[in-house]
Chain A
Amino acid sequence: MPAPAPIRWSPAARAVASVLIVGYLAAVVLPPLAGPPPASALAGWLLQPFRPLVGALCLGHGYRFFAPDPGPGHSIRWTVERADGTRLSGSLPDRAADRPRLLYHRRFMIAEKIAPLVPPADAPAEARRDARADWLPLVEGVAGQLLARHGGVRVQLQLVEHYLPTPEELIASEQGRGDGRDTMADIVTPLGTFALAGSVQP
């Protein structure tokens, strides 16, 4: 191993570096402490002066991978209508078309991040109306991109929550021991029909 560097840091240099180190570590620790919920008001208050640094260095992460529980996967089912009346259907993400796998995952995140914002179709009307302001602008962006990609004039979108079977349900299904009901069906929530000029209510 080479000999240690002869120049050691002066006390002043160490003091400045220590302040910077503490500041950086605060910007690393505080965002996951302050969110996602549940989180304390104190953590949120402490985070405030560090938010510019968190934003500049892109440190606003929660790090709660597969927490609190791994849930069902989602996709966005689309049907594009072209000016000549032809229709084209697909899914976002598309396991067959979205290759390499990293591209699939980047598109998969679109459905995964919009899904928590969309209440199920049987949720109270008021809750669905209030949530619409959060997810509609995002879905309009997705609709616009799909129309541009496929040369469409209208696109119909549905959010699909793919059923996550329990081990018992999977074994019963493999053995043909279902109870006759389609209990393993996906949950489909209409997102609306979107035209080039804007959106149409579902």
Chain B
Amino acid sequence: MTTTPSPSVAAVPSRGWCAEWTAAWNAFWFTPADPLPLAVIRIATGALLAWSSMVWLGDAQAFFGNDAWLRPEDVWRMNDQPWQWSWYFAAPVAAGGLTLVTLVAAVCLMLGLATPLAALVSFAGLVSAANRAPLNVFGLDDTLGMLLVPLVIGPSGAVLSLDALLGRGDARPGVRANIALRLLQIHLCVVYFFSGSGKLLGASWWEGTALWGALANGQYRTLDLTGLARHPLVVNALTLATLFWELGYAALVWPRLTRPLVLAMAAPVHLGIGLAMGMMEFGLAMLVANLAFVPAAAFRGLGSRMFSRPHTSERLA
């Protein structure tokens, strides 16, 4: 009797553990990727930063001037990092003008006009604001920073941009697009991991009552859900679902089988926080970051359904 060796065992020589790691690393970071998801993220991030800049601009001297809520000489008390720079330290009297620079850059970023420069100036404006006014920033600003770094690195203006219309974009898949998306994906996993693991220190998250603490807080509340006081098991379920979704995100978002479920859960969590606690901009920014895990084909499919012309029979009907 003759036997045929299994090809999976006999035909593939072992490359060694280090070589396999190197190959996997190269495949993960240096495989060319379609820049379309990055362009969608660019449009949404530009819009959010433009809105945030308009709000800063409405009271720029109070946030960034010499007599601001937080005086320049006291900034270190809130955020004492070396190399913590801000263009508002250099020219506090021009706070309005500098904020306007960020606003213009954000609009250019959204439109994809002079995109590399717009992304860089947008990031500089965001960091300048966050480093000058640490008393006034929150999760929205952290998230915008997370979104802007990949937009500076990758070719985010290659498609869906004025640059592309002007013939300045290269729409072909490239390595820089992949690196940018990978950085955003990993950063997002880090955010959810620490957000989830930090909650494990709190008894109310284990007891399933933490969500009540957020909903009953009158300073945050924009949607009155205190009727849930009569439904403690619902509060338990929502709290535990949020906790374990955040804890599991970094592991479950990578397998194709669980990715759609994990991403689908992001919508109710972040839109719920946005609607009920008045932080819609923060919720939207986190949802935009989740787009880094949506494949380009999904955007193309959505785009073709939205913008394709109806068939003749449909027009006649």
Contacts and interface: CB of A to CB of B under 8 A. Distances in A.
Contact of B213 (A4, A70, A108): A70
Interface of A: 1-5, 8-9, 14, 17-18, 21, 24-25, 28-29, 32-33, 38, 51-75, 93, 100-110, 113-114, 134, 137-138, 140-142, 144-145, 148-149, 162, 164-168, 170-171
Given A62-B198, A73-B218, A103-B58, A55 B83 contact: yes
Interface of B: 25-26, 29-30, 32, 34, 51-52, 55-56, 58-59, 62-63, 67-71, 74, 77-79, 81-85, 126-127, 130-131, 133-140, 142, 145, 149, 170-175, 179, 183, 186-187, 190-191, 194-195, 198-205, 210-214, 216-220, 222, 226, 228-230, 232, 235, 278-281, 296-297, 300
B229 A164 contact: no
Contact of A32 (B34, B55, B190): B190
Nearest to A92: B69
Given A5-B175, A51-B82, A63 B281 contact: no
Nearest to A29: B190
Contacts of B59: 103
Nearest to A167: B229
Contacts of B63: 106
Given A73-B218, A134-B77, A140-B71, 7 more contacts: A2-B171, A5-B173, A29-B190, A53-B83, A102-B55, A144-B71, A162-B217
Contact of A171 (B140, B186, B201, B230): B230
Contacts of B202: 67-69
A170 B229 contact: yes
B219 A74 contact: yes
B149 A66 contact: no
B213 A101 contact: no
Contact of A69 (B51, B84, B213): B213
A70 B217 contact: yes
A32 B250 CA distance: 15
Contact of B82 (A28, A32, A52, A63): A52
Given A101-B222, A106-B55, A164-B213, A68 B201 contact: yes
B210 to A, nearest CB: 5
A69 B204 contact: yes
Contact of A17 (B71, B179, B214, B228): B179
A162 B221 CA distance: 13
A122 B195 CA distance: 32
Nearest to A69: B202
A17 B25 CA distance: 12
Q: Chain A contact residues: over half helix, strand or loop, or mixed?
A: helix
A70 B204 contact: yes
A102 B278 CA distance: 8
A140 B52 CA distance: 26
Contacts of B217: 70, 72-73, 162, 164
11 contacts: A5-B175, A8-B175, A33-B194, A52-B83, A56-B85, A56-B127, A60-B81, A105-B279, A106-B136, A110-B135, A149-B62
A77 to B, nearest CB: 13
A28 B187 contact: yes
B300 A1 contact: yes
B77 A2 contact: no
Contacts of A58: 84, 126-127, 130-131, 145
Q: Which of A58, A66, A149, A168 has the most CB of B within 10 A?
A: A58
Contacts of B51: 102
B137 A109 contact: yes
Nearest to A36: B198
Contacts of B175: 5, 8-9
A66 B79 CA distance: 20
A180 B150 CA distance: 58
B219 A108 contact: yes
Contacts of B126: 58
Contacts of A29: 190
A107 B216 CA distance: 20
Contact of A24 (B25, B67, B82, B183): B183
A149 B170 CA distance: 50
